[in-house]
Amino acid sequence: MSRWIDVSTAEPDEGRGNPGNQQLEWNQAANCQVADGELAMTARREAVTSPSGHRYDWTSCLLSSAPSYQFQYGYLEQRSVLPAPRGFWPAFWTWQASDVEWHTETDVYEFYSDNHRRLSATQHSGTHGSCIWQLSFDATTAWHIYGVAIEPSGTTWYVDGTQVFHTDATADAVTNIIANMAVYSEIPPEVGTTTATMRLDYIRAWSSS
């Protein structure tokens, strides 16, 4: 965990909350726990008021590799089990380094937990490119590997080692890695849902820049 911090410049409220982006959660380190060789990123229904005065009804977990690890081109992957209850929005992505003044972001995946067999992939940088693909499996029931190769010639996504999408768009600046477990305001959790967890076995990255 020494390589990771629990805040990000992608979250405008103290680096821990982003209610303007359809997110309901306040991120804090207590919701990231390592045990039995894996990381549990847990969202909990509990009230927090941020220093800015905004009230959040959920807490959750975000980890960023800033400033210990940054890159422009390379390959990164995550092995994980995604959350099953409706209303959650885990993601694995990159975000521009603190000294970059323009939006640079690659979404390895975004997962909206109302649909267990659909993932979104987006290259927000450069000329942009995106895809929504249907999985052949339920992403909430077993371990799977989600990866992306970001190269000068384009961006290519993989699931369990198989290529699923490519775009000629690519990152145009240096970025950090982020993994987070958002709570989605557009399709919120059921009233009776009090917690949900994303399980991570590992995050690996190889830089070529």
% of the chain with per-residue pLDDT over 90: 98
Summarised one tens digit per residue, pLDDT across range 175-191 is: 999 999 999 999 999 99
Which DSSP string corresponds to 143-208?
-EEEEEEEETTEEEEEETTEEEEEES----S-EEEEEEEEEBSSSPPPTT--EEEEEEEEEEEEE-
Mean pLDDT computed over every residue of the chain: 97
Confidence of residue 3 (pLDDT cuts 50, 70, 90): confident
Summarised one tens digit per residue, pLDDT across range 99-157 is: 999 999 999 999 999 999 999 999 999 999 999 999 999 999 999 999 999 999 999 99
Average pLDDT for residues 57-70, to the nearest whole number? 97
Query: Domain ranges in the chain?
Result: 66-207
User: How far is it, in rounded angstroms, from Cα 19 to Cα 16?
Assistant: 10
Asked whether residue 201 carries a pLDDT value surpassing 80, the answer given is yes
Confidence of residue 26 (pLDDT cuts 50, 70, 90): very high
Q: Classify burial at 180, counting beta carbons within 10 Å of its beta carbon; exposed 0-12, middle 13-18, buried 19 or more.
A: buried
What pLDDT, on a 0 to 100 scale, did the predictor assign at position 73? Answer: 98
What pLDDT, on a 0 to 100 scale, did the predictor assign at position 15? Answer: 98
Average pLDDT for residues 44-64, to the nearest whole number? 98
This prediction has a pTM of: 0.97
Asked whether residue 1 carries a pLDDT value surpassing 80, the answer given is no
> Pairing mode, if any, of strands 88-96 and 175-183?
antiparallel
What pLDDT, on a 0 to 100 scale, did the predictor assign at position 62? Answer: 98
User: How far is it, in rounded angstroms, from Cα 130 to Cα 106?
Assistant: 10
- 3-state class of 84 per DSSP? coil
Q: Which fold has domain 66-207?
A: Jelly Rolls (2.60.120)
Asked whether residue 2 carries a pLDDT value surpassing 90, the answer given is no
